Amino acid sequence: MNASKLSKKRKAVTRDVEEEAGVFSGNELNVGDINGALSDNANELSSDEEDSEVELIDDFSDDEDEEEEEELDSDEIPSDGEEPLKKKAGKPAADLEVPTNDESSSEEEAEVNFRIEKDANGNDRYIYDEINPDDNSDYSDVEENANTIGNIPLSFYDQYPHIGYDINGKKIMRPAKGEALDALLDSIEIPKGFTGLTDPSTGKPLELSQDELELLRKVQMNEIPAEGYDPYEPLMEWFSNKQEVMPLSAAPEPKRRFVPSKHEAKRVMKIVKAIREGRILPYKPPSEEKEESLDLVSFDLWADEAERPDHPMHIPAPKLPPPGYEESYHPPPEYLPNNKERKAWEEADPEDREQEYLTTDFGSLRKVPGYGEFVKEKFERCLDLYLAPRVRRSKLNIDPESLLPKLPSPEELKPFPSVCATVFRGHKGRVRSLAVDPTGVWLATGGDDGTVRVWELLTGRQLYSVKVGEEEPVNVVRWRPGKDAVVLAAAAGDDLFLIVPPILDPELEQASLELMDAGWGYAASKPAPKASEEKKTTPPQWVRPSSALADSGVCAVIPLRYVAKSISWHRRGDYFVTVCPGSSTPASMAVAIHTVSKHLTQYPFSRRIKGGGPPQTAHFHPSKPILFVANQRTVRAYDLSRQLLVKIVQPGARWISSFDIHPTSSTASGGDNLIVGSYDRRLLWHDLELSQRPYKTLRYHRKAIRAVKFHPSGRYPLFADASDDGSLQIFHGSVTGDMLSNASIVPLKVLKGHKITGELGVLDLDWHPREAWCVSAGADGTCRLWM
Partner 1 sequence: MAKIKKKGTSGQAKNFITRTQAVRKLQISLPDFRRLCIFKGIYPREPRNKKKASKSSTPNTTFYYTKDIQFLLHEPLLRKFRDQKALAKKIARSLGRGEVGDASRLEKNHAPRLTLDHIIKERYPTFIDALRDLDDALSLLFLFANLPSSAHVPPKTIALCQRVTHEFQHYLITTNSLRKSFLSIKGIYYQATIQGQDIMWLVPYRFVQRVNGDVDYRIMATFVEFYTTLLGFVNYRLYSTLGLRYPPKFDTRSDENGAELAAFTLEGRSVGEAPKAIEANKQTNKTSNQEVSREVQAKVDKVIKTAGLDRTKDEQVVESTEEASDAIDKFEPTAPEADTLPQPDLSIDQAGSLFAPFVFYVSRETPKAPLEFILRSFGCTRIGWDAVLGDGAFTHDETDTRITHQIVDRPSLPESSLPAVPAASEDAVQKVRPGTRIPGRTYVQPQWVWDCINDGKLLRADLYAPGATLPPHLSPWVKPSRGGYDPRASLAEQEEEGEAELDEESGSDEEMEDATDDKKAEAKEESEAESEDEDDINGGMDVAETDEDESGSEEEEEEDEDFGGFDGEAASESEDEEEAARTQHQKELEAEAAGLPFSSGGAAGEASKKKSAQAKKIASKKRKEEEELERQKMMMSRKKRKLLEKMMYSNKKQSDEAAKLRSKRRKLEKGEKGGQK
Among 377, 472, 680, 771, binds partner 1 (CB under 8 A): 377
CA atoms within 13 A on the CB side of 50: 11
Q: Which residues, in sequence order, are CB contacts of 309 under 8 Å at separation 6+?
A: none
- Amino acid in position 416: F
Q: Segment contacting partner 1 (CB under 8 A): 202-210, 264-272, 298-306, 476-484?
A: 298-306
Q: Segment contacting partner 1 (CB under 8 A): 170-178, 399-407, 470-478, 595-603?
A: 399-407
Among 217, 267, 270, 378, binds partner 1 (CB under 8 A): 378
By beta-carbon proximity to partner 1, the closer residue of 310 and 471 is: 310
Work out whether 290 is an interface residue with partner 1 (CB under 8 A): no
Q: Which residues, in sequence order, are CB contacts of 43 under 8 Å at separation 6+?
A: 104
* Nearest distance from C-beta of residue 297 to partner 1, angstroms: 4
By beta-carbon proximity to partner 1, the closer residue of 194 and 357 is: 357
Collapsing DSSP to helix, strand or coil, 76 comes out as helix
Work out whether 55 is an interface residue with partner 1 (CB under 8 A): no
By beta-carbon proximity to partner 1, the closer residue of 211 and 288 is: 288
Whole-number Å distance between alpha carbons of 763 and 433: 7
Tell which positions 270-289 bind partner 1, by CB under 8 A: 283, 285-286
* Nearest distance from C-beta of residue 749 to partner 1, angstroms: 7
* Nearest distance from C-beta of residue 652 to partner 1, angstroms: 18
CA geometry: angle 272, 277, 283, nearest 5 deg: 65
Closest CA to 761 of 729, 737, 732, 787: 729
Work out whether 345 is an interface residue with partner 1 (CB under 8 A): no
Work out whether 353 is an interface residue with partner 1 (CB under 8 A): no
By beta-carbon proximity to partner 1, the closer residue of 191 and 282 is: 282
Query: CB atoms < 10 A from the CB of 416, how many?
Result: 23
Collapsing DSSP to helix, strand or coil, 323 comes out as coil
Work out whether 531 is an interface residue with partner 1 (CB under 8 A): no
Work out whether 385 is an interface residue with partner 1 (CB under 8 A): yes
Binding to partner 1 by CB under 8 A, coded x per residue (else -) over 758-777, reads --------------------
Work out whether 24 is an interface residue with partner 1 (CB under 8 A): no
* Nearest distance from C-beta of residue 289 to partner 1, angstroms: 9
Q: 595 pairs with which residues across the strands?
A: 575, 600
* Nearest distance from C-beta of residue 402 to partner 1, angstroms: 10
CA atoms within 13 A on the CB side of 113: 12
Work out whether 243 is an interface residue with partner 1 (CB under 8 A): no
Q: Segment contacting partner 1 (CB under 8 A): 248-256, 316-324, 494-502, 508-516?
A: 316-324
* Nearest distance from C-beta of residue 433 to partner 1, angstroms: 24
Work out whether 386 is an interface residue with partner 1 (CB under 8 A): yes
Q: Report the Cα 533 to chain-centroid distance in Å.
A: 71
Give me the helix-helix angle, 31-43 and 20-29, nearest 10°. 70
| Cα-Cα-Cα-Cα dihedral sign, residues 704, 774, 672, 582 | positive
| Cα radius of gyration rounded to whole Å, the chain | 76
The values of phi and psi at residue 229, to 5°, are -85, 130
Q: Report the Cα 766 to chain-centroid distance in Å.
A: 62
Work out whether 655 is an interface residue with partner 1 (CB under 8 A): no
DSSP-derived letter for residue 198 is: E
Among 169, 175, 331, 539, binds partner 1 (CB under 8 A): 331
* Nearest distance from C-beta of residue 356 to partner 1, angstroms: 9
* Nearest distance from C-beta of residue 742 to partner 1, angstroms: 13
Among 256, 279, 319, 530, binds partner 1 (CB under 8 A): 319
Distances (CA, A) of 35 to 41, 42, 168: 9, 10, 8
Work out whether 152 is an interface residue with partner 1 (CB under 8 A): no
* Nearest distance from C-beta of residue 560 to partner 1, angstroms: 38
* Nearest distance from C-beta of residue 615 to partner 1, angstroms: 31
Among 103, 307, 352, 412, binds partner 1 (CB under 8 A): 307
CA geometry: angle 685, 686, 691, nearest 5 deg: 145
CA atoms within 13 A on the CB side of 665: 24
Q: Do the bridges between strand 644-649 and strand 635-639 make them parallel or antiparallel, or are there none, so unpaired?
A: antiparallel
* CB-CB contact of 145 with 4 (8 Å): yes
By beta-carbon proximity to partner 1, the closer residue of 621 and 749 is: 749
Among 156, 194, 379, 522, binds partner 1 (CB under 8 A): 379
Measured in Å, how far apart are the chain's first and last C-alpha atoms?
Answer: 180
Q: Segment contacting partner 1 (CB under 8 A): 395-403, 450-458, 600-608, 769-777?
A: 395-403
By beta-carbon proximity to partner 1, the closer residue of 291 and 514 is: 291
By beta-carbon proximity to partner 1, the closer residue of 81 and 389 is: 389
Work out whether 61 is an interface residue with partner 1 (CB under 8 A): no
Tell which positions 683-722 bind partner 1, by CB under 8 A: 700-702
Tell which positions 491-520 bind partner 1, by CB under 8 A: none
Q: Segment contacting partner 1 (CB under 8 A): 30-38, 370-378, 443-451, 455-463?
A: 370-378
Residue-by-residue DSSP string for 116-179 = EEE-TTS-EEEEEPPP---TT-TTTTS-TT-----SS-GGGGGGSSEEEE-TTS-EEEPPP-HH
Whole-number Å distance between alpha carbons of 397 and 401: 12
Tell which positions 721-750 bind partner 1, by CB under 8 A: 725, 727, 729, 745-750
Work out whether 544 is an interface residue with partner 1 (CB under 8 A): no
Work out whether 387 is an interface residue with partner 1 (CB under 8 A): yes
Among 374, 505, 536, 740, binds partner 1 (CB under 8 A): 374
Tell which positions 400-429 bind partner 1, by CB under 8 A: 400, 403-405, 407, 409-410, 418-420
| Cα-Cα-Cα-Cα dihedral sign, residues 518, 521, 527, 530 | positive
Length of the chain: 787
Closest CA to 711 of 760, 656, 748, 758: 748
Tell which positions 429-488 bind partner 1, by CB under 8 A: none
